[in-house]
Chains A and B, each alone.
Chain A
Amino acid sequence: MKRLKSIINLLLPVATFAVIIIAWAALCASEALPAFMMPSPKAVLDAFIGDFKLLCIHSKYTLAETFTGMGISIVLSFLLAVVMDRFNWIKKAVYPLLVVTQTVPSIAIAPLLVLWFGFGMSPKVILIVVVCFFPLAIGFLDGFASADEDEIKLLKSMGANNAQIFRHVKFPRSLPHFFAGLKVSSSYCIVSAVISEWLGGTNGLGVYMTRVRKSYAFDKMFAVIILVSLLSILLMALISLLEKVTMPYNNKEKKQ
């Protein structure tokens, strides 16, 4: 009974997608829309397969930018959060700035970054850092602050110094918050990379997108959009896996 339920739970979302694709195919087959504007699922799939090699090459660049940007964001946000947690006046001084950077629309500063840093990888990576930094830094900060006062007192009564309190209480307490922030920012990450590739560059899915758009290749346009969302899903799955590996104590909770 329980197994049946879990199978149904798995099938429901699959069914939703299937219905949407069938409806899409039916709409195209009925010729209510001109085929060049709304390609059929079959045409999109063909475009995807036909351009697969090219898509792979461009994905490699986009993913490289994404991972570099994410890596830099994680390191920087961790360092800043540690300093902000340690010195309250720095926290007070910097926190509003963090919020403000978040309200600046990333699409608006992307052209500026291209003007400043050229058509290479750096403006893309910088945009990703600007976008991802905030949720990650806030995740760490909230995590550090969520450490129980009594747990800190316990460590103090053991004679622990600040570094040890950080190592044994604050850092492990921040991990769930950090991963929540990482999941949020991961979906921004790839989109930011793609947007900044629109504005200039020679490689990447954004560049590919601009090219197929200019040649009105709608089927390829759809193919690359689907690829971008697939990559986002894979990235999130990777983060979930990482979360399970780093926090084995949480997995058992779910089983119970």
Chain B
Amino acid sequence: MNNILYANKISKSFDGNFIFRDLSISLQKGETLALLGPSGIGKTTLLNILSGVLAPDSGNVYLKGEDITAKPGHISYMQQKDLLLPYYTVAENVALPLIIKGEKKNVAIETVKKHFEFFGISGYENKYPKEMSGGMKQRAALLRTVIQSQGVILLDEPFGALDAVTRNKMQKWYLDIKDQMKISTIIITHDTDEALILADRIIVMKDSLTIKELKVNDKCKDFELTKEFLQKKKEVLGYL
């Protein structure tokens, strides 16, 4: 198996109600997996467990074969908000994961500055986040997430707060960078189109215990304008 991340039989309940029971999820190297489903069925809880911020009641999470259950710091996680700290410059924000890991501040900042051009935010290194537009902030937050990662990133509705035009641009841009940065991604979304555009594989969660899987690989250019796209969309909506 080529699994970079593997969650084995995860269960989690709050106040006696199961959010998941024996849920297993695997992510292959270089793959983008979308978790699609309505709000409030525990998608974010699942990401919290995978990232190690939250401990599952039972089950284990493995990264490259190593057990990382409830051990944060291995998988990077971008939440719904960009969460750029307003009192740090953009470069300091992006460098924060390296600084936390014990790297010297100026070394960390030099390291991350190399990527600013590629992420389309060069010129903003020494500015504060509030001087950026929404799309720019999201790019900076994503760069921070990539800097933090060891190849796997979790994205919780990363483009949800953006306007439709910017979101479209960001999705295209994301497809560009993920190959070049060699990252494997799990992305949460409740937008069917977004899931179809970004993902190689979609896990549709009707409720947390009913799960369907769907492959969307070998996508052509402008996939969202083809008939296959509509077909897949019908299929997904049928599950929900």
Q: Which of B63-82 contact A (CB under 8 A)?
A: 72-77, 79, 81
Contact A159 B130 (CB under 8 A): no
Q: Which of B128-184 contact A (CB under 8 A)?
A: 128, 130-131, 148
| Assembled-state Cα–Cα distance A172/B85 (Å) | 9
| 1/0 contact string of B58-102 vs chain A (CB within 8 Å) | 000000000000001111110101010111100000001101110
Q: How many interface residues does B have (CB within 8 Å)?
A: 26
Assuming the contacts A156-B72, A157-B72, A249-B86, asked whether A150 and B100 have C-beta atoms less than 8 A apart, the reply is no
Question: Which residue of A148, A158, A253, A256 is within 8 Å of B97 (Cβ)?
Answer: A158
Q: Which residue of A lies closest to B76 (CB)?
A: A157
Assuming the contacts A153-B79, A249-B128, asked whether A158 and B96 have C-beta atoms less than 8 A apart, the reply is yes
Contact A158 B86 (CB under 8 A): no
Contact A169 B85 (CB under 8 A): yes
Question: Which residue of A158, A169, A175, A249 is within 8 Å of B72 (Cβ)?
Answer: A158
Contact B53 A153 (CB under 8 A): yes
Contact A252 B130 (CB under 8 A): yes
Instruction: Please give, as numbers and ranges, the residues of chain A lying within 8 Å of B77 by CB-CB distance.
Output: 154, 157
Contact A155 B81 (CB under 8 A): no
| Assembled-state Cα–Cα distance A167/B72 (Å) | 18
Contact A156 B130 (CB under 8 A): no
Question: Which residue of B52, B87, B99, B130 is within 8 Å of A172 (Cβ)?
Answer: B87
- A115 CB within 8 Å of chain B: no
Shortest distance between the CB of A173 and any CB in chain B (Å): 8
Contact A252 B128 (CB under 8 A): yes
Contact B100 A159 (CB under 8 A): yes
Q: Which residue of B lies closest to A247 (CB)?
A: B87
Contact A252 B73 (CB under 8 A): no
- B51 CB within 8 Å of chain A: yes
| 1/0 contact string of A237-256 vs chain B (CB within 8 Å) | 00000000001010011001
Question: How many A-B contacts at CB < 8 Å in the complex?
Answer: 61
| Assembled-state Cα–Cα distance A175/B85 (Å) | 14
Assuming the contacts A157-B73, A159-B101, A164-B100, asked whether A150 and B83 have C-beta atoms less than 8 A apart, the reply is yes
- A51 CB within 8 Å of chain B: no
Instruction: Please give, as numbers and ranges, the residues of chain B lying within 8 Å of A253 by CB-CB distance.
Output: 130
Contact B76 A150 (CB under 8 A): no
Contact B130 A158 (CB under 8 A): no
Contact A155 B100 (CB under 8 A): yes
| Assembled-state Cα–Cα distance A155/B84 (Å) | 11
Contact B76 A151 (CB under 8 A): no
| Assembled-state Cα–Cα distance A154/B147 (Å) | 14
Contact B73 A154 (CB under 8 A): no
- A160 CB within 8 Å of chain B: yes
| Assembled-state Cα–Cα distance A171/B73 (Å) | 22
Shortest distance between the CB of B84 and any CB in chain A (Å): 10
Shortest distance between the CB of B43 and any CB in chain A (Å): 15
Question: Which residue of A160, A247, A249, A252 is within 8 Å of B100 (Cβ)?
Answer: A160
Instruction: Please give, as numbers and ranges, the residues of chain A lying within 8 Å of B97 by CB-CB distance.
Output: 158
- A86 CB within 8 Å of chain B: no
Instruction: Please give, as numbers and ranges, the residues of chain A lying within 8 Å of B96 by CB-CB distance.
Output: 155, 158, 168
Q: Which residue of B lies closest to A171 (CB)?
A: B87
Instruction: Please give, as numbers and ranges, the residues of chain B lying within 8 Å of A249 by CB-CB distance.
Output: 86-88, 128, 130
Shortest distance between the CB of B26 and any CB in chain A (Å): 21
| Assembled-state Cα–Cα distance A69/B217 (Å) | 69
Shortest distance between the CB of A167 and any CB in chain B (Å): 10
Instruction: Please give, as numbers and ranges, the residues of chain A lying within 8 Å of B73 by CB-CB distance.
Output: 157-160
| Assembled-state Cα–Cα distance A175/B74 (Å) | 31
Contact A154 B101 (CB under 8 A): no
| 1/0 contact string of B96-136 vs chain A (CB within 8 Å) | 11011100000000000000000000000000101100000
Q: Can you list 13 pairs linking A and B with CB atoms under 8 Å apart? A: A151-B83, A151-B85, A153-B53, A153-B79, A154-B83, A157-B51, A157-B148, A158-B72, A158-B73, A159-B74, A160-B100, A168-B96, A249-B86
Interface of B toward A, CB cutoff 8 Å: 48, 51-53, 72-77, 79, 81, 83, 85-88, 96-97, 99-101, 128, 130-131, 148
Known: A156-B53, A156-B72, A249-B128. 8 other contacts (CB 8 A): A154-B83, A157-B77, A158-B72, A159-B100, A160-B73, A249-B130, A252-B130, A256-B130
Interface of A toward B, CB cutoff 8 Å: 148, 150-151, 153-160, 164, 168-169, 172, 175, 247, 249, 252-253, 256
